[in-house]
Amino acid sequence: MSLAGDSQDINNPRGVINMADDALQMGIYDFFPGLVYVYDLDQKQLRYINKKLTDSLGYSYDDLKEWKQDFGRLVFKDDLELVQKELEKYYELKEHDSHGYQCRLNRKEGDYIHFQVTGKVIRRNDKGKPESVLFIAQDISEQIKVADEARAFRELMDDTETLLQFSTWRWDAITNIERWSKGVYPLLNYNEKEIESKMSSKFFLDHIIPKDRERIDKLYNHAIDTKQEFLSYEYTILTHDQQSKILHSTIRFRYANEVLIGALGINRDVTEKSTLINSLLGYREMIMERDMFLDQGTFELDIKTGDVMWSDGMYTLYGYDPVADKEKMTITEALYKKHLFDDDFESYKSKRGEAFQQSNSAVWQYQIATGSGEIKQLETYGKMIRDAQGEPIRLIGTTRDVTKIVKYERELERKIVELRRSNKDLEDFAYIASHDMHEPLRKVHSFADRLRTKHSSGLDEEAKGYLERILSATQNARLMIDGLMEFSRLSRNGDWFEKIKLNEIVAEVLNDLELKIEETNTKIEVTDLPEIEGMKLQLKQLFANIILNAIKFRKQDVSPVISIKCRKLSRQEATGLNLDINTEYYKLMIKDNGIGFEEEYAETIFQMFQRLNSKNEYPGSGIGLALCKKITDNHQGVISASSSPGEGTIISIILPEKHN
C-alpha cells in the first residue's frame, strides 16, 4: 500500500470531514484511546492519523515522511495480504454501514500490537463510490493474550482428557442446557465432527448396555429423591465401533433450597483398570486353588520389622481357617515355636540364619503339629531379597505339605532295598544253579559221546537216533547255561566306565571275527563313530553279538553286507524316549541285508530264550540279543530293532556320551 499524498498534510484533515477546521475535534481525536486515521481509498493515501501513532507505536510523523508515506510499513508483514483484502470490502459498503477486522501493526521497537480496526466511509465521489474511510483501531493485545491463554488452557484440558481417558459435563436444570467436554468423543470412539450437534445425555446413555442402563436409572432417581450430593457407579458401554468399555461416573448434584438446580459429572474409562483388577482377582483365586490342591502356602517376612504375612494356604497348612482365624492371629516366631518340634524349630532358625548370612536361598524340612494334633512333614523354600548394599530386607518363600511324599519316598526306598536284595538273590541263584548244572550236563554229554564212539556198532538205528538227540539236547542246554551265566555276570557288573573310542572297539571285534567274516564273504562298512564313556568289555560284546547275528541270519547265496553308522540324537527324540535332555546321546544304526523278520516281533527278540527260527536251521542259545539289551541298560541307553521279511534288519542303539 503506497501513500502518494503530501507528507506535510498528514496531520491536517482539511477537506476530509465536515468539521475538519475545528481544532477541538482534532484535539479529541488525539485523546481518543486508540489510533484514528483517515485513508483515501481512491488515492491510496493516508490523509490523517492522530498522535497515538507516537504513543502506541513509537513512530513520529517524520518517520512516515521518511517512508514516503507508505502506510504498509506499519502493517505486520504476515498481515499485509489480509489488510489489502479487507480494504477492498469497503468499496461494497452501503450508507451508514461499517466493517471491521483484526490485524497487527508494527512498533518501532521491533514487536507488534494487535488491533481491532473498524472503518466507515465518510466521503463518496460523484458516482457514489467510497473515497475516504475513517478508521478507529483499538489495542486488543491483552484480549488476544487472554484468548490465547484460554484457548491453550482448553487445548490442554482436551489433551488431558484424551490422555487420561475421561470427560466432563455440566447440566443446568433451570435452562435444561447441557455442556459436554471434548473428551466424550474419544470415550465413545467418535470423531468430534460426526456427533458434535447430536451430543446430549440421551445420546450418551443410548450407548450403555441395557442391563446397566436400567440399574443406573434406579440409582439416579434414588439419589435425587434422597437429596444425595454425590453418586458414583460403574457400567459398560458399546462404542460407535461396537467396542466394549467399562466406565466409572461420578456426579455431584447441586441444590438450592432442596431443589435440584443442576449437576456436574465426570466419566472415566476404567476398562484397563477393571481388567487388571479382575485378572488379579482371578490370579489370586488361582493361587488359592493351587495352594489348596498342592497343599502349599506362601509367606513373606520383613527383616526390619519382623512382620510376617501368610497366604491362605499357610493358615490351612497349620490347621487354621483362613477366613475365621486370619484377623484374630498375629504371625510371630512364637507361633512357629508352638507348632514345630524343638529340634525342628532350632533347625528352622539355623536354616533361616544361613539364608541371611551365607546365601540367598535355602531349603529345609521339618515336622509340625497342627492345632488338631495332626503331624505333618513340611518343606520350605526361602529366598532372601537384599537391598543395593546387599543387606537382607525380606525373606519370601513357599511351604508345602510333603507328608505323603516323604511317606511314599520312604516306602519306595524300602521296596527298592528289598527289590535289590531279591534281585541279588536271584542273580546269585542263577549263577550258582547254572554253575552247578554245568558239570552234570558235561558228564551226560561226555558219557553219551563215549557210548556213540565205543558202542555204536552194537546199537540199532533207533538207539543211535536217541543217542544223537541226547547229545544235541545236552549241547543246547550247555549253551543256554553258558548264556545264563554270561547274563548273570552282566547283572553282577563290576566294570568301570572309561572313555572309549567306538571305532577302536569295532576294529577289535572285526579282528576277532576275521575268520567268520572271510568264510561268509561278509562286507562291513563303518563310518566315523564317537568317543563315549562306557564299559569296554561289554561294548565289545554288544557289537560282536549284533554282527554275528547279522552274519548268522543271512540270505542263502547272498553275501552279508553290514553298515555301522552314527549320529547325534536330537532333543525332541530324547524327550520322546524319556531320556535326560541335559545329556548328549548318540544313535548307532547297524543295518544288514539278511532275512529280516515281522515287525510285530521287534520287542520279542530282546527277551531271554526267544527264537523266531528253528534251532536246526539257525543254532544258538537264544540269549544273544537279551545280552545286548542288558549291556545297553547298563549304559543307561536304549536298544530297538526294525525289520520286514526279506528286507534286512536295523538295530538301533542309543548311548549317552557321558555318565554321572
> DSSP letter string over 259-277?
EEEEEEEEEEE-HHHHHHH
Domain ranges of the chain: 7-139, 155-269, 288-401, 407-488, 493-656
Instruction: State residue 231's pLDDT score.
Output: 93
Give the fold, CATH level 3, of 407-488.
Helix Hairpins (1.10.287)
The gap from C-alpha 631 to its chain's centroid, in whole angstroms, comes to 46
Residue at 601: amino acid letter: Y
Q: Are 433 and 481 in contact (CB under 8 A)?
A: no
Return d(Cα 205, Cα 386) in angstroms, integer: 53
Could you tell me which of 94, 181, 184 has the C-alpha nearest to residue 130? 94
pLDDT for the residue 429: 58
Which grid cell is 571? 532333543
User: Nearest-5° angle of CA 224, CA 227, CA 229?
Assistant: 100
C-alpha cell at 187: 470415550
Sequence-distant (≥ 6) Cβ neighbours of residue 63 within 8 angstroms: 108
What are the backbone angles phi and psi of residue 143, rounded to the nearest 5°? Answer: -65, -40
The three three-digit cell numbers of residue 366, written as one number = 521339618
- Single out the residue of 603, 641, 608 nearest to residue 624, CA to CA: 608
pLDDT of residue 107: 92
Q: 10 Å Cβ neighbour count for 81?
A: 10
155-269: CATH homologous superfamily?
Answer: PAS domain (3.30.450.20)
Gap between the Cα atoms of 120 and 16, Å rounded: 13
The three-state secondary structure class of 115 is: strand
Q: Do the strands 112-124 and 230-238 form a parallel or antiparallel pair, or are they unpaired?
A: unpaired
Closest by Cα among 110, 100, 120 to 39: 120
Q: Does domain 288-401 have CATH number 3.30.450.20?
A: yes
DSSP for residue 570: P
pLDDT of 291 = 66
Please name the residue ranges forming H helices in 492-617: 502-512, 514-519, 536-552, 571-576
pLDDT digits (tens, 9 = 90+) for 9-62: 454 443 333 334 445 556 666 667 788 888 888 777 778 888 888 888 898 888
264's CB contacts (< 8 A; 6+ apart) are: 168, 169, 170, 171, 251, 252, 254
* Exposed / middle / buried, residue 121 (Cβ in 10 Å: 0-12, 13-18, 19+): buried
Helix 536-552 / helix 624-634 crossing angle, nearest 10 deg: 150
Q: Is 83 helix (H, G, I), strand (E, B) or coil?
A: helix
Residue with cell 510285530: 600
Candidates 3.40.50.300, 3.40.50.150, 3.30.565.10, 3.30.420.40; correct CATH number of 493-656? 3.30.565.10
DSSP assignment of 465-484 equals: HHHHHHHHHHHHHHHHHHHH
SS3 at position 75 = strand
Q: In terms of Cα–Cα distance, which of 66, 111, 602 is closest to 612?
A: 602
pTM of the model: 0.40
Handedness of CA 48, 53, 55, 56 (dihedral sign): positive
The set of cell numbers assigned to 33 is 484511546
411 backbone φψ class: left, alpha, beta (φ>0; ψ -120 to 50):
alpha
Q: How far apart are CA 426 and CA 488, in angstroms?
A: 9
Beta bridge partners, 385, equal 394
pLDDT for the residue numbered 620:
55
pLDDT along the chain (660 residues), means of 10: 40 41 58 83 80 86 76 88 91 89 92 92 87 90 83 73 78 89 86 76 90 92 92 91 91 91 90 79 67 76 86 86 84 85 76 67 84 86 84 86 84 79 62 60 71 75 76 66 59 70 92 88 93 88 88 87 92 85 90 87 76 57 79 89 89 88
Count CA within 13 A, CB hemisphere, residue 555.
17
Residues paired with 133 in a beta bridge: 39, 121
Q: How far apart are CA 204 and CA 346, in angstroms?
A: 67
Return phi, psi of residue 106, to 5°: -75, 140
357: which 3 cell numbers? 548370612
Cβ proximity of 567 and 586 under 8 Å? yes
CA–CA gap between residue 219 and residue 231 (Å, rounded): 8
Q: Which of 565, 552, 541 is nearest to 627 (CA)?
A: 541
What is the per-residue pLDDT for 19? 37
- Asked if 102 contacts 140 with a C-beta cutoff of 8 angstroms, the reply is yes
The pLDDT tens digits for 513-530 are 888 899 899 999 999 999
Residue 621: burial class (beta carbons within 10 Å; 0-12, 13-18, 19+)? buried
Q: Which of 618, 575, 573 lies closest to 594 in space, CA to CA? A: 618
Closest of 182, 167, 170, 173 to residue 252, by C-alpha = 170
Q: State the pLDDT at residue 601.
A: 80
Distance CA 370, CA 340 (A): 9
**What does the alpha-carbon distance between residue 292 and residue 323 come to, in Å, rounded to a whole number?**
14
**Of 362, 399, 366, residue with least CA distance to 382:** 362
Contact status, residue 269 vs residue 165, Cβ threshold 8 Å:
yes
Q: How far apart are CA 138 and CA 127, in angstroms?
A: 32
Fold matches, 155-269 and 288-401:
yes
CATH topology of domain 7-139: Beta-Lactamase (3.30.450)
The secondary element (H helix, E strand) that includes residue 247 is strand 244-256
